[in-house]
Structure 1
Amino acid sequence: MNASLPKILLVLSLIGVVGSASAVPEPSPARFGATPTASQVEWQNMQMYAFVHFTINTFTDKEWGFGDESPEMFNPTDFDAHQIVQTIKDAGLKGLVLTAKHHDGFCLWPSAYTEHDISNSPFRDGEGDLVREISDACREAGIKFGVYLSPWDRNHAKYGESEYIDYYRNQLRELLTNYGPIFEIWFDGANGGDGWYGGANETRKIDRSTYYDWENTWSIVRELQPNAIIFSDAGPDARWIGNEQGYAGETSWATINVGDSTPGNADTKQLENGDRFGSDWIPGEVDVSIRPGWFYHAKEDAEVKTPERLLEIYYDSIGRGANLILNIAPDRRGRVADIDVQSLLGWKALLDATFSKNLALSASVSASDTRDVTQRFAASNLLDGDRSTYWSTQDETKQASIELSFDEMQRFNVVEIAEYIPLGQRIGSLRVSYWNEEEDAWLDFGSAQSIGAQRLIKGALTTTKKVKLTVEDSAACPAVSEIGIYFSPVEFK
């Protein structure tokens, strides 16, 4: 034996590296299945942000421009980027994705590669850059900025040919290098069809799976904005949820099997629900507009979604583990219309009335099983407001329960639970129950088949001193970061 080894062990023990077996921390649970990148975790923690559809369509009263519109038609009378951004921030939204170019091809920034842009409009006497104004306003307000650059261009003469791909990538580089950090970039599946195409006025079809050479196009994003989330039907970072109605599937997994899916070529059922054991971590994003259309139309002023309807969308999107991108459409002034502002602020008030007070913080918490005795994975982590800490069980324990006990009776009708998603989406079935003193029994409150980044379980108004969450099925030992118990003044059906 090496004569110096006892001395080394003595020194290590004195500084705490070597000690009794009981002091050695239990290792973290192994990751299960597909897991998110750090950027995806940060993105999912944002939960909700805005889409802003504002371009030449606002002035032609169309949803999809044909591509033959004159840039001179773009002329907001009182554009105010700060009013738009502040409205979005006041609604509780954490970011903004701007339609820098829609299908008609008109660009909201002065592009070096086309004349079909804002520099040839009356806006700011041809010296304006709306992308700049919005991105600057976002940074001043402390919310994140993103862009949508339509792959389809009904104006460009070379659309459908290889030259257009060079044009598209050049514009992508402009947006990703000139406007600061980009948190998300949108690529959608509306590709090919009739258009003006530089005066050809014809229908052009493309092979959606090959034309854009997506892997090389997306590599530009990875190079210039490595932390940006890339959205499309097929990800690679976030997926379309398969509808524009404001809901994710009742059971919604963050994982899917991408296979050969491309933007505009994906199984909408898979997009809506995901695949429990999917090979790729590509969580859902629910896109929905506050109005029937995506652009402002005065005739839709009476059809703006109410605060109550927006609240339903919140539960059906964020409450099912997806993110929510809510479209706000500025009017022809270049401001968010008063009726939209009122609805957004009313929605925020409803959210605050429920989620401003987590009743669980006044409870004592215990678990049927804990991973170690050092408190690193203790049940108390569920109430610390920190999603980087979590409760977990021993590896072999895949069914377990968490119990919250209160000193006084509590009224609640919403329960929140969030998995520690860096380790994957593990829980397949969870049930919430409450203790009924009169019946001396646990009664059902609600259940869920998938959790993920966040799950909100609504139920009838309940009064109790004890709430129990039971993990009935988990593919690996559960890892849960947060629990919330809330009273909502809204009565659920």
Structure 2
Amino acid sequence: MNKLAPLFVGTALSSLMLPGQAADPPKPYGAVPTPQQVNWQRMEFYGFIHFGLNTFTGREWGYGDENPQIFNPTDFNASEIVETFKKGGMKGMIYTAKHHDGFCAWPTKSTEHNITKTPWKNGKGDVVKEFALACKKHGIKFGTYLSPWDRNHAEYGKEGYLKAYYQQIRELLSNYGPVFEIWFDGANGGDGYYGGAREKRNIGNAEKYYNFEKIVEMIRSIQPNCIIWGAGHYGDARWGGSEKGHVNYPHWSTVGLNGGGGGTGKRGGERWVPAEGDTTINHSGWFWHQGQASRVKSPEELMQVWFDSVGRGANLILNVAADKTGKLDPADVKSLMEFKELRDKLYAKNFALGATATASQTRGNDKKFSPSNMTDGNMDTYWAVEDDNLTPSAVITLPKPATFDVIRLREQIRLGQRVDSFNIDAFIKGKWVCIDNGGKTIGNQVMRRLTAPSPPRTAPAHHGQPGNALHL
């Protein structure tokens, strides 16, 4: 493996304002994140858990006519599950409190189709509460998923359903402590039970029917720090573009006023709505299925997902489902822990710390914008140049030659996202060699795997995955 030191990074930036002598910070470009979005993006990784009636029927989408009596896990322990998520490196978890079948896993007053009609704990249980308390106990954040589509409710598609749905939102956000994220799935309408009608219902425009503008206002009034996933073009976070965890590259965290952008986003968009990559740890589906142990994704597959989501500036939510007993599948847990080991090895050594940084220019010659900010380990400091300098460069000189094959770059997203492209060169055998000319966006972060030009690289250790990295 080649030893790469020092490094040269060149970028192409958008022009913002004329140079000034006061060395004021650059003006933001396009939309900027809220403080809540900044905190959310720094989480990077959290869990999904699908656990409900579908767990007991083997379905992915329940029809809505399932009898709640089938929900009776014999060994459910929320604390044990949350502890596993935390050990796997997750900063939070989101529980599917209601999926499309309409079954509410808490004692809601909005519908009879809920946990009180199950034999579990003699109808006195509350899965949402147990997960919320377990997250608090283990020090990770709690979130919830609440399907807008309800294939059980007799009034779905009509005005009467909205009263029940709004009540469900209020209950989940009022009775279980802080909720860091609430998920609104995009599945909206189709065939279902609908109180015995057994018909197909089409709601037309989802934003208009649910009145997501009103929903967002309600959420903000109850939990202002809660990140809203989906909700038409009113939410704070968006889909990454697939259910395989991958987001597109280049990747912009901004979108237009009416949303859109998918996994790519829109350069200079009017709203900051970063993407979230979502996928399952198992190829079987979102809910647990018999025999799924043979279909678990390998740690190496999950590491590729990591680079294709977190490594492109998005967050990653990884689903690990509970089985009929209420336990996680041992095969899933094994893969999750080995995935954690790979990430620990990747981040074990940050070569940027202690390195020397110089640049072609520093904004106003003010040390608060010094290139040394790139190597101080503080995400809130940053290097900046004058506004008319569209091709600045910086050199990172390591204390001694080092072996690594990943470089992470970040922008100060509080000022928006503006980098269009960048190259990375390395000083190898007495000359500068381009080792990456395919860099496009940076944004929240980008992780680039390096391909050495010459001589041929040896395979990195740790199951063929990247070793140590340089984090700027």
* Fold conserved between structures, TM > 0.5: yes
Of 374, 377, 386, which aligns to 1:382? 374
Q: Distance in 1 between matches of 2:465 and 2:335?
A: 20
Aligned residue in 1 for 2:13: none
Residue 3 of structure 2 is matched in structure 1 by none
1:406 paired residue among 388, 398, 406: 398
1:187–1:231 CA contact under 8 A, matched in 2: yes
**2:299 is equivalent to residue 301 of structure 1:** no
1:332 maps to 324
In structure 2, the residue matched to 1:457 is 448
Contact 1:447 1:457 survives alignment (8 Å)? no
Contact 1:67 1:197 in 2 (8 A): yes
Q: Does 1:425 align with 2:434?
A: no
Structure 1 contact 421–452 (Cα < 8 Å) conserved: yes
Report how far residue 70 of structure 1 moved.
0.9
Corresponding position of 1:164 = 161
| Runs of 5+ consecutive residues of structure 2 not aligned to the other structure | 1-20, 467-472
Deviations 1:269-324 (A, max 9, x none): x2121111222111111111111200000222111111000000000001011111
The 3-state SS of whatever aligns with 2:401 is: strand
CA displacement, residues 95-129 of structure 1 (integer Å, 9 cap, x when unaligned) = 11110000001111001122211111111121111
**Any stretches of 5+ residues in structure 1 without a counterpart?**
1-23, 262-266, 465-486
CA distance in 2, matches of 1:447, 1:347: 27
- Which structure has the larger Rg? 1
**In the aligned structure 2, how far is the partner of 1:123 from the partner of 1:345?**
30
Structure 2 residue 215 is matched with structure 1 residue 223: no
| 2:256 alignment partner AA | N
Structure-1 separation of matches of 2:213 and 2:266: 23
Distance 1:190 1:447, change over 3 A: same
Structure 2 counterpart of 1:468: none
Partner of 1:253: 252
| RMSD between superposed Cα atoms in Å | 1.8
Distance 1:370 1:463 in 2: 33
Q: What's 1:271 paired with?
A: 262
Residue aligning to 1:80: 77
Question: Conserved in 2, the CA contact under 8 Å of 1:436 and 1:443?
Answer: no
The CA distance in 1 between the partners of 2:463 and 2:333, in whole Å, is 21
Residues 63-142 of structure 1 correspond to what in structure 2 (within 5 A)?
Answer: 63-142=60-139
Among the aligned pairs, what percent are the same residue? 45
Quote the Cα distance in structure 2 between the aligned partners of 1:382 and 1:294. 40
Question: 1-side partners of 2:250 and 2:463: how far apart?
Answer: 23
Checking the alignment, whether the CA contact within 8 Å between 2:405 and 2:451 is kept in structure 1 is yes
CA distance, structure 2, for counterparts of residue 154 and residue 56 of structure 1: 13
Q: CA deviation at 1:235?
A: 4.9
More strand by share: 1
1:244 is aligned to 2:243: yes
Task: Return the alpha-carbon distance in structure 1 between the equivalents of residues 461 and 221 of structure 2.
Answer: 45
**CA separation in 1, counterparts of 2:24 and 2:107?**
54
Alpha-carbon distance between aligned partners in 2 of 1:258 and 1:488, rounded to the nearest angstrom? 45
Query: 1:446: Cα distance to partner?
Result: 4.6
Distance 1:36 1:185 in 2: 18
1:427–1:346 distance in 2 versus 1, CA, 3 Å: same
Task: Look up the SS of the partner of 2:149 in the other structure.
Answer: coil
Match of 2:189 among 178, 189, 192: 192
Amino acid across the alignment from 1:288: T
Partner Cα separation in structure 1 for residue 340 and residue 216 of structure 2 = 35
Q: CA separation in 2, counterparts of 1:415 and 1:491?
A: 17
Report how far residue 404 of structure 1 moved.
1.1
1:489 positional shift: 4.1
Distance 1:74 1:409 in 2: 59
Which residue of 322, 335, 353 maps to 1:343? 335
Question: What is the alpha-carbon distance in structure 1 between the residues aligned to residue 110 and residue 271 of structure 2?
Answer: 36
* Aligned counterpart, 1:315: 307
Structure 2 CA distance, aligned partners of 1:78 and 1:243?
33
Please report how far the alpha carbon of residue 384 of structure 1 lies from its aligned counterpart in structure 2 after TM superposition: 2.0
CA distance in 1, matches of 2:440, 2:191: 43
**CA contact 1:413–1:488 (8 Å) conserved in 2:** no
1:83–1:336 CA contact under 8 A, matched in 2: no
3-state SS, counterpart of residue 404 of structure 2: strand
**Bigger mean CA offset, 60-69 vs 401-410:** 401-410
* 1:279–1:151 Cα change, 3 Å: same
Structure 2 counterpart of 1:369, one-letter code: Q
Question: Is 1:415 matched up with 2:407?
Answer: yes
Change (3 A) 1:492 1:433: farther
Asked if structure 2 preserves the Cα contact closer than 8 Å seen for 1:52 and 1:96, the reply is yes
Distance in structure 1 (CA, Å) of the matches to 2:301 and 2:233: 29
Secondary structure (helix, strand or coil) at the match of 2:344 reads helix
Residue 26 of structure 1: how far off its partner (Å): 2.0
Task: Report if aligned partners of 1:353, 1:488 keep a CA contact under 8 Å in 2.
Answer: no
* CA shift for structure 1 position 334: 0.9
Q: Which amino acid aligns with 2:243?
A: E
CA displacement at 1:373 relative to structure 2: 3.5
Name the residue aligned to 2:53. 56
Question: Partner amino acid for 2:300?
Answer: E
1:256 shift after superposition: 1.2
Q: Which has the higher contact order (CA 8 A, sep 6+)?
A: 2
Separation (CA, whole Å) in 2 of partners of 1:191 and 1:131: 23
Once the 2 structures are TM-superposed, how far is the Cα of residue 447 of structure 1 from its aligned partner?
A: 3.2
